[in-house]
């Protein structure tokens, strides 16, 4: 039995999505788990007094590309986990691609785990990948600690992570069925759409028309079919849904009782295609950010529960690969500055989602409890971590964010802690300021420190989320 060591207290503590904010003091044991919760504000002797700020479960971002090992000029575990910590994110789950090697074997999984000893400021786990021919690697990876697996149904953008066809998918799912392993789908298929060479590639619409909603709709029809074939043994998940046209098929699949979950991203909910300026390739991602009416329909699906969770899909690269006007001098010969069609697709945003979601959501009827459900509880459960993370409850990890949801916040460059600072959110104004982030009872980020260099804990308190979870 571990000793009680620290207390966290406040007048507005939100324990989970079914509670109301109220006074509470949370006692945390030496192992970083919640030992006891008293419904009173007790500042005397507390390690942290949130006062009138909101103290709630830390954000679990289940979709982040850390790119380590192999592409650390794009991102790395230290910078990604600093960015997470600064934004109230206490757990990130890395994607199996864009790092080299791709996380598609136990050896690659172990290589990533060893490489992350560089320093994790929050807890970090990883998804594995399904690629042609690795069905036999899946159960061993699951046993090693992979949270589940991701696959592509179209080109992934990197050669080391090829897509799977239906036969390969079936072979993988038969393996996963033996253990109840979860399968995540990048749900776009090639429908023959392509960018019109006659149109200006520096206009966002040129790229948008090359990735029509039909690509997602066709893929999701396949996902639903495969999900039904293996139900209930292989829970299926659609990553980064953008096309509202796919919502009827998702609603029908859920009504049928299929084990299907869906995520969307902060950018699909907070940005519309109409707002993307020419040549601003920091807005490019796949599937694309679509029009205003599409965004309204996604919000309706968030509010009615069709969309289960919201994640960042943080996927940065170096500015030259973005063909961004900011580094026009460094572009490779023949490249067009601001070319949406040729630029790398991916939006950098880990750690800045909470205020963005809240600012847009609050005016659409989203409650703070919904925020907890969408970014903490549902994402923790999705990553197989419901017994440890996503809520504040006795026995669970003491992962908290202390923030002021009503405070004005401008996302200035000094607040961006990921490696490459190109992001559509730069200089954006929103509501919600993170003050402290706590990982298993340790304060890993504290904005009240006057010197920016002191705001992150000197030690990295994050742990690898492996098979023991
Ligand atoms: Zn992604």
Per-residue pLDDT of the chain (469 residues; tens, 9 = 90+): 456 689 999 999 999 999 999 999 999 999 999 999 999 999 999 999 999 999 999 999 999 999 999 999 999 999 999 999 999 999 999 999 999 999 999 999 999 999 999 899 999 999 999 999 999 999 999 999 999 999 999 999 999 999 999 999 999 999 999 999 999 999 999 998 888 888 999 999 999 999 999 999 999 999 999 999 999 999 999 999 999 999 999 999 999 999 999 999 999 999 999 999 999 999 999 999 999 999 999 999 999 999 999 999 999 999 889 898 887 677 777 788 899 999 999 999 999 999 999 999 999 999 999 999 999 999 999 999 999 999 999 999 999 999 999 999 999 999 999 999 999 999 999 999 999 999 999 999 999 999 988 999 999 999 999 998 8
The DSSP output letter for 9 is E
Distance between Cα 308 and ligand 1 center (Å): 17
What tens digit of pLDDT does each residue of 336-377 get?
Answer: 889 999 999 999 999 999 999 999 999 999 999 999 999 999
**Calpha distance 294→211 (Å, rounded):** 14
* Dihedral angle sign, alpha carbons of residues 277, 279, 282, 286: positive
Distance between Cα 239 and ligand 1 center (Å): 8
Res 172: pLDDT: 98
3-state secondary structure of 403: strand
Res 3: pLDDT: 62
Distance between Cα 273 and ligand 1 center (Å): 19
Distance between Cα 23 and ligand 1 center (Å): 38
Instruction: For ligand 1, an ion, list residues with CB under 5 A.
Output: 313
Residue 180: count other Cβ atoms within 10 Å of its Cβ: 14
**Calpha distance 460→456 (Å, rounded):** 9
**Calpha distance 445→112 (Å, rounded):** 24
Q: Which helix (H) or strand (E) holds 161?
A: none
Distance between Cα 436 and ligand 1 center (Å): 27
3-state secondary structure of 431: strand
Res 419: pLDDT: 94
Distance between Cα 265 and ligand 1 center (Å): 10
Closest CA to 118 of 75, 61, 76, 65: 76
Residues 89/122, Cβ–Cβ less than 8 Å: yes
Residue found under tokens 């909101």: 54
Distance between Cα 345 and ligand 1 center (Å): 10
Pairing mode of beta strands 4-13, 54-57: parallel
**Calpha distance 274→20 (Å, rounded):** 37
Res 198: pLDDT: 87
Distance between Cα 65 and ligand 1 center (Å): 6
Distance between Cα 313 and ligand 1 center (Å): 5
Residues 55/14, Cβ–Cβ less than 8 Å: yes
Distance between Cα 12 and ligand 1 center (Å): 34
Which long-range contacts link 101-104 to residues 24+ away (Cβ below 8 Å)? 101/69, 101/70, 101/160, 102/129, 102/131, 102/158, 102/160, 102/161, 103/127, 103/128, 103/129, 103/141, 103/146, 104/128, 104/129, 104/130, 104/131, 104/134, 104/137, 104/161
Distance between Cα 285 and ligand 1 center (Å): 9
Distance between Cα 46 and ligand 1 center (Å): 39
Closest CA to 2 of 441, 417, 296: 441
Pairing mode of beta strands 309-311, 400-410: unpaired
Distance between Cα 61 and ligand 1 center (Å): 12
* Domain ranges across the chain: 4-49, 58-385+404-429
Closest CA to 266 of 332, 345, 357: 357
Give the tokens for residue 161: 């992570």
CA-atom Rg of the chain in angstroms: 21
**Calpha distance 315→282 (Å, rounded):** 11
Closest CA to 146 of 179, 118, 98, 171: 179
Distance between Cα 315 and ligand 1 center (Å): 6
Residue 40: count other Cβ atoms within 10 Å of its Cβ: 11
Res 208: pLDDT: 97
Distance between Cα 64 and ligand 1 center (Å): 7
Distance between Cα 395 and ligand 1 center (Å): 31
Q: Residue 114 — φ and ψ, nearest 5°? A: -65, -40
Give the tokens for residue 458: 């000197």
Distance between Cα 63 and ligand 1 center (Å): 6
**Calpha distance 119→191 (Å, rounded):** 42
Res 125: pLDDT: 98
**Calpha distance 112→68 (Å, rounded):** 7
Give the tokens for residue 139: 């159960």
Distance between Cα 240 and ligand 1 center (Å): 7
Res 439: pLDDT: 98
**Calpha distance 97→257 (Å, rounded):** 31
Distance between Cα 96 and ligand 1 center (Å): 9
The topology (CATH level 3) of 58-385+404-429 is: TIM Barrel (3.20.20)
Distance between Cα 109 and ligand 1 center (Å): 18
In what side-by-side order are the strands of the sheet with 89-94?
Answer: 59-64, 89-94, 123-126
Residues 41/23, Cβ–Cβ less than 8 Å: yes
User: Which ranges of 106-262 does DSSP label H, i.e. alpha helix?
Assistant: 106-115, 135-144, 166-177, 204-210, 213-230, 247-255
Strand spans (E) along 271-393: 309-311
Res 315: pLDDT: 95
Q: Which helix (H) or strand (E) holds 97?
A: none
Distance between Cα 186 and ligand 1 center (Å): 8
């Amino acid at each position: 039995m571990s000793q009680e060591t620290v207390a966290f207290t406040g007048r507005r503590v939100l324990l989970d999505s079914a509670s109301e904010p109220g006074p509470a003091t949370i006692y945390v044991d030496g192992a970083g788990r919640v030992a006891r919760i008293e419904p009173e504000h007790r500042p005397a002797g507390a390690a942290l007094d949130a006062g009138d700020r909101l103290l709630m479960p830390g954000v679990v971002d289940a979709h982040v590309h850390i790119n380590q090992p192999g592409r650390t000029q794009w991102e790395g575990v230290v910078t990604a986990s600093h960015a997470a910590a600064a934004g109230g994110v206490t757990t990130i789950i890395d994607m199996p691609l864009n790092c080299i090697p791709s996380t598609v074997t136990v050896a690659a999984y172990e290589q990533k785990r060893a490489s992350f000893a560089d320093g994790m400021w929050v807890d970090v786990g990883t998804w594995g990948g399904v690629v042609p021919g690795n069905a036999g690697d899946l159960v061993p990876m699951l046993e090693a600690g992979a949270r589940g697996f991701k696959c592509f149904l179209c080109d992934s953008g990197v050669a080391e992570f090829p897509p799977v066809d239906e036969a390969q998918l079936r072979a993988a799912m038969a393996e996963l069925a033996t253990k109840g392993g979860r399968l995540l789908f990048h749900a776009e298929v090639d429908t023959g759409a392509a960018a019109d060479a006659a149109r200006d590639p520096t206009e966002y619409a040129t790229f948008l028309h090359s990735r029509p909603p039909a690509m997602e709709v066709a893929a999701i029809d396949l996902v639903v079919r495969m999900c039904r074939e293996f139900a209930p043994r292989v829970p299926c998940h659609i990553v980064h849904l953008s096309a509202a046209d796919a919502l009827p098929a998702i609603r029908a699949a859920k009504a049928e009782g299929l084990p299907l979950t869906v995520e969307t991203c902060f950018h699909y909910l907070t940005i519309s295609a109409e707002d993307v300026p020419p040549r601003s390739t920091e807005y490019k991602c796949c599937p694309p950010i679509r029009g205003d009416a599409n965004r309204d329909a996604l919000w309706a699906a968030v509010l009615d529960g069709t969309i289960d969770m919201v994640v960042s899909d943080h996927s940065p690269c170096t500015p030259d690969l973005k063909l961004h006007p900011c580094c026009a001098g460094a572009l490779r010969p023949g490249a067009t500055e601001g070319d949406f069609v040729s630029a790398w697709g991916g939006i950098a945003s880990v750690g800045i989602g909470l205020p963005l979601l809240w600012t847009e959501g609050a005016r659409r009827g989203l409650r703070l409890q919904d925020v907890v459900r969408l970014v903490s509880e549902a994402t923790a459960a999705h990553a197989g971590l419901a017994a440890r993370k996503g809520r504040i409850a006795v026995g669970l990890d003491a992962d908290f964010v202390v923030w002021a949801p009503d405070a004005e916040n401008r996302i200035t460059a000094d607040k961006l802690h990921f490696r490459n600072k190109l992001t559509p959110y730069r200089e954006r104004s929103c509501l919600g300021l993170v003050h402290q982030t706590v990982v298993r009872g340790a304060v890993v980020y504290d904005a009240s420190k006057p010197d920016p260099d002191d705001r992150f804990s000197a030690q990295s308190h994050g742990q690898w989320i492996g098979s023991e979870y």
